[in-house]
Amino acid sequence: MSLIGHSVSPYIVYLSYFFLILVGLGVNILGRRRFGCEWNLQLGVKVSAILIGLFIFIFGAPINFFSDFMVAYYPAGRLVLENPYGLYNLNVVFVNIPIIALIFIPFSFVSPHFAIALLVIVTSLIAILSYRLLSSFSKVTGWKMLALFSLFSISGPLIYSFKEGNSTHFVLPLILIALLLLHRSQRVHPTFAMSISA
């Protein structure tokens, strides 16, 4: 985990991280034996998973929050309308095809701080949708649903994508929708969803 820019001792950070992991494991093991899958077990597991996820978000790499969004996607939303050729100059680190910049047009017409707040809301909704689609696809119940929630909440690559503010996690629900349609033996719609996500 990157600690640059944080005044906290690395030992405290790592000890805190492993403590949260142990608490999460303890809640999972002891709670399952005592409570089964009642609301108090669900609350304990979900809170501990969210705390670990927040810990990774705050102390993990990259150092700067929403750096991809601010240097690439935020300016790209305006440039795609005013000067599409400017998407690939040295001042804008935009590596996607131009059509991706269209998604970020609404963000580019508000202040950077408001755009980041809007991105956080959209990203959170995408995360919730992706989790619901994943749980629907896997058809898990009971403690397995809690395990899926925990794995989803502490997914390093997913948290990294959120913290960078890039477009990777926008693709996840499209892939999950395509998988759900494939599972239901649909032929046209999965191809369409996978084409969009590509």
Record the pTM: 0.72
The answer to whether 108 touches 78, Cβ cutoff 8 Å, is: yes
* pLDDT the model gives residue 119: 92
Please list, in sequence order, all residues whose beta carbon lies within 8 angstroms of the beta carbon of residue 2, skipping any fewer than 6 positions away: 59, 60, 61, 62, 63
Decide if pLDDT at 192 tops 50.
yes
Higher pLDDT, 24 or 161: 161
* pLDDT the model gives residue 1: 45
Decide if pLDDT at 2 tops 60.
no
Can you tell me the distance from the alpha carbon of 82 to that of 160, in angstroms, rounded to the nearest whole number? 31
Can you read off the two tokens belonging to residue 158? 């997913």
Please list, in sequence order, all residues whose beta carbon lies within 8 angstroms of the beta carbon of residue 160, skipping any fewer than 6 positions away: 60, 61, 62
Largest CA distance in the chain: 62
| Mean pLDDT, residues 98-116 taken together | 90
| Local confidence band at 3 (pLDDT 50, 70, 90 cut-offs) | very low
